[in-house]
Amino acid sequence: MGKKAFIFPGQGSQYVGMAKDLFENSVEAKEMILTAEEATGLPLRNLMFNGPEESLKQTDVTQPAIYLHSVVLSSLIRTLEPDFVAGHSLGEYSALTAAGAVQFYEAIKLVHARGKAMLKAGIENPGTMAAVIGLEPEKLMDICNIAGEEGIVQCANFNSPGQIVISGSVTGVRKAMEIAKREGAKLVKELVVSGAFHSPLMENAREELKETLESTPFYDAKKPVYTNVTAKPVQNKDEIKELLLAQLTKPVRWEESIKNMIEDGADEFYEVGPGKVLQGLVKRINPDVRIFGIEKYSDLERYL
């Protein structure tokens, strides 16, 4: 028998109207959303259901919103049990909650603190990110090393074959973009972001989150969590905390994580949360595995 993996999306998957149908159709979902509002002090219902999009795109709102949507869904799935879990950047917090490594009420506060710390770090150390399509990882890492003479830049997300995101200072990233185009990248596009995520420019966020993270109770995960920093399965609570902190300045090794899960027997992937970004990435990493999306109440009904 093949194994099942739940994968959870990160920032960029939010949209106005997210989780509204869950709130309207499930008492449990309604309670969780109201609890999240109480824990964070944010008007999450209004922002998620009605927008405006500009407000929903603010990092300190986006992160709790996506986490909440994902975790409400995974909490309501009754008949489907994952063997492995993983989440893309912010999604790692959803994965850890699904694996029983952290309680929902504690995690939503932690995610809100992470969003605020990252937003603040983005203001203190402004930076940018860019997607680069069509270059090998080694080639792009060399380009970042060369461009590093102009300013900080590193590979931030190894998403799928030939799709990598770079992150760092505006001068460093733009220099790397210029070289990548010259070196034959199919597409190079600067992203609209509020900071240089997964780069050394997030060091202040790391320092700020450290205290909150240390005071949040964690438990050994009930199932393997393939983490962004190592791309390997982890269950030990102390290791999980260390990796969550490291994750802010280190690259997301998503392609490797998916390949490792497949190697360990996963042949069915369920993206649990808003959007379809991860489904697209998994298809590009390995078109032979089966991929499903659980995003709406109607998707949930077969698993209740």
Task: Say if CB 150 and CB 115 are below 8 A apart.
Answer: no
Choice among 26, 70, 74, 89 that is catalytic: 89
Choice among 167, 169, 198, 257 that is catalytic: 198
Peptide bond just before 52 cis, omega within 30 deg = yes
Write out residues in the chain with pLDDT < 70, as ranges. Answer: none
Rounded Cα distance between 238 and 220, Å, is: 8
Query: CA quadruple 68, 69, 74, 75: dihedral positive or negative?
Result: positive
Q: Residues 184-197: pLDDT tens digits?
A: 999 999 998 989 99
Task: Say if CB 99 and CB 75 are below 8 A apart.
Answer: no
Q: What is the pLDDT of residue 28?
A: 97
Residue 229 main-chain phi, psi, to 5 deg: -70, -40
Task: Say if CB 198 and CB 243 are below 8 A apart.
Answer: no
Please give the helix or strand (H or E) that residue 117 lies within, else none: helix 104-124
What are residue 270's DSSP bridge partners? Answer: 6, 292
Task: In the chain, count H helices and then E strands.
Answer: 14, 10
Is residue 89 annotated as part of the catalytic site, yes or no? yes
Task: Say if CB 42 and CB 112 are below 8 A apart.
Answer: yes
| Predicted model pTM | 0.97
Q: What is the dihedral of CA 259, 260, 266, 267, to 10 degrees?
A: 10
Name the amino acid, one letter, at 228: N
Rounded Cα distance between 65 and 229, Å, is: 23
Is residue 198 annotated as part of the catalytic site, yes or no? yes
Per-residue DSSP letter, 252: B
Q: What is the pLDDT of residue 121?
A: 97
Q: What is the pLDDT of residue 303?
A: 83
The edge-to-edge listing of strands for the beta sheet with 84-87 is 233-234, 225-226, 84-87, 3-8, 266-272, 290-294
Rounded Cα distance between 36 and 265, Å, is: 35
Q: What is the pLDDT of residue 45?
A: 97
Choose among 194, 129, 192: nearest CA to 164.
129
Peptide bond just before 233 cis, omega within 30 deg = no
